[in-house]
């Protein structure tokens, strides 16, 4: 039976262009060419995909099933030919979508995935820590595709201001060790979007995020490790503002080869222990902007 229904191709009653049409929250495991816990050559990553294209005024509906078909094709291909990373996989989906949706000018693919990374506690115990990968691809027909690579890492911040206040209130001068402060979970997000051919490694961004907070955190801490984490946090007290600026500093320093139009976003969300609400800071900028600010600072000093 040949179903005639193609309501999607009919003209919409209103004729407005749409910025984004597609599917969101599609869950799908993919295979990456990285060591995994059940294979030295490949690892499985469970992803959530948001996949959109634009839609011109003349067409009523976007063919949403094509988005899922593109995702399935790429995910299945990953089984026999694992992708190196999620942003390459997202880029491949974006390319297919521009072919499948002949009417679309723009394509947006976003991938979120949980990632388990080997880590080491202060005393050298090995652990595995969970974080979130935020990858993607944004394409404009005829202008190439920008890759997005990001991480969301939960660490800990201890507050520098409360620490100083406590010292003043208790009249403690130069105790020779860090004083108490409030400390809490801090979620640090770093995202880069660029159209260079260069590869940015998610592990490096995780390192940057973990260096930007007061201390990384760990799933397993025996007594001495727990003490070290607390001491480290209070030795490296950080506002949300500090976390973001530390992240920006390391991004500028570690990626001198990235093009000036690279988009950078760093944010820090602190689940305050002394409040029921969060403290938050973010910076969005191009790499050019950030480099210029670094240059200004060097001159100022």
Residues 101 and 11: their CA atoms lie apart, in Å, by 16
The whole-angstrom separation of Cα 28 and Cα 49 is: 8
Of the pair 22, 139, the CB lying nearest its own copies is at 22
For strand 263-270 and strand 183-194, is the pairing parallel, antiparallel, or unpaired? antiparallel
Residues 6+ positions from 103 with CB-CB distance below 8 Å: 55, 56, 59
The distance of closest approach from Cβ of residue 176 to its own copies in the complex, given in angstroms and rounded to an integer, is: 8
Locate 41 and state its tokens.
């050559």
Pick the closer one to its own copies by CB: 156 or 197.
156
Q: Which residues pair with 216 in a beta bridge?
A: 155
- In the complex, what is the shortest distance from the CB of residue 28 to its own copies, in angstroms, rounded to a whole number? 7
CB of 174 to its own copies, least distance (A): 13
Q: What are phi and psi of 61, to 5 degrees?
A: -135, 150
Min dist. Cβ of residue 158 to its own copies (A) = 8
Residues near 184 by beta carbon (within 8 Å), at least 6 away in sequence = 156, 157, 270, 271, 272, 273
Q: Which is nearer to its own copies, 146 or 251 (CB)?
A: 251
Helices within 101-222 (DSSP H only): 160-169, 202-212
**In the complex, what is the shortest distance from the CB of residue 163 to its own copies, in angstroms, rounded to a whole number?**
8
Q: Are 268 and 240 in contact (CB under 8 A)?
A: yes
The CA distance from 95 to 104, in Å, is: 12
| Minimum distance from residue 19 beta carbon to its own copies (Å) | 5
Of the pair 80, 257, the CB lying nearest its own copies is at: 80
Q: CA 64 to CA 20: how far, in whole Å?
A: 11
8 C-beta neighbours (distance < 10 Å), count: 13
Structure tokens at 153: 């890492």
Residue 5 CB, shortest distance to its own copies, in Å, is 4
| Shortest spacing between CB 148 and its own copies, in angstroms | 18
Nearer to its own copies, 95 or 117 (CB): 117
Sign of CA dihedral 212, 214, 219, 220: positive
In 3D space, the residue among 226, 248, 124, 242 whose CA is nearest the CA of residue 186 turns out to be: 242
Whose structure tokens read 């063919």? 63
Nearer to its own copies, 197 or 236 (CB): 236
Q: Would you say 196 or 239 has its CB closer to its own copies?
A: 239
59 or 91: whose CB is closer to its own copies? 59
């Amino acid at each position: 039976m040949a179903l005639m229904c193609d309501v999607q191709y009919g003209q919409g009653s209103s004729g407005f262009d749409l910025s984004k049409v597609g599917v969101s929250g599609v869950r799908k495991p993919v295979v990456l060419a990285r060591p995994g816990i059940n294979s030295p050559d490949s690892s499985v990553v469970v992803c959530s995909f948001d996949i959109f294209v634009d839609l011109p005024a003349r067409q009523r509906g976007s063919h949403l099933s094509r988005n899922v078909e593109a995702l399935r094709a790429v995910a299945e291909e990953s089984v026999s030919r694992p992708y190196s990373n999620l942003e390459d996989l997202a880029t491949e989906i974006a390319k297919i979508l521009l072919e499948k949706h002949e009417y679309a000018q723009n394509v947006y693919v976003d991938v979120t995935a949980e990632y388990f990374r080997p880590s080491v506690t202060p005393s050298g115990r090995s652990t595995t820590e969970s974080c979130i990968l935020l990858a993607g691809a944004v394409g404009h027909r005829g202008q190439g595709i920008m890759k997005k690579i990001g991480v969301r890492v939960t660490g800990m911040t201890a507050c520098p201001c409360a620490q100083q206040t406590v010292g003043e209130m208790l009249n403690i001068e130069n105790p020779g060790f860090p004083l108490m402060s409030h400390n809490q979970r801090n979620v640090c997000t770093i995202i880069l979007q660029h159209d260079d051919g260069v590869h940015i490694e998610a592990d490096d961004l995780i390192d940057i995020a973990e260096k930007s907070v007061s201390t990384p955190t760990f799933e397993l801490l025996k007594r001495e490790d727990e003490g070290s984490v607390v001491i480290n946090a209070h030795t490296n007290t950080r506002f949300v503002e500090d976390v973001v600026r530390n992240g920006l500093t390391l991004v500028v320093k570690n990626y001198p080869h990235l093009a000036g139009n690279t988009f950078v976003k760093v944010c820090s969300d602190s689940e305050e222990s002394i409040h029921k609400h969060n403290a938050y800071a973010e910076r969005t900028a191009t790499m050019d902007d950030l480099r210029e600010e670094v240059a200004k600072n060097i001159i100022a000093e």
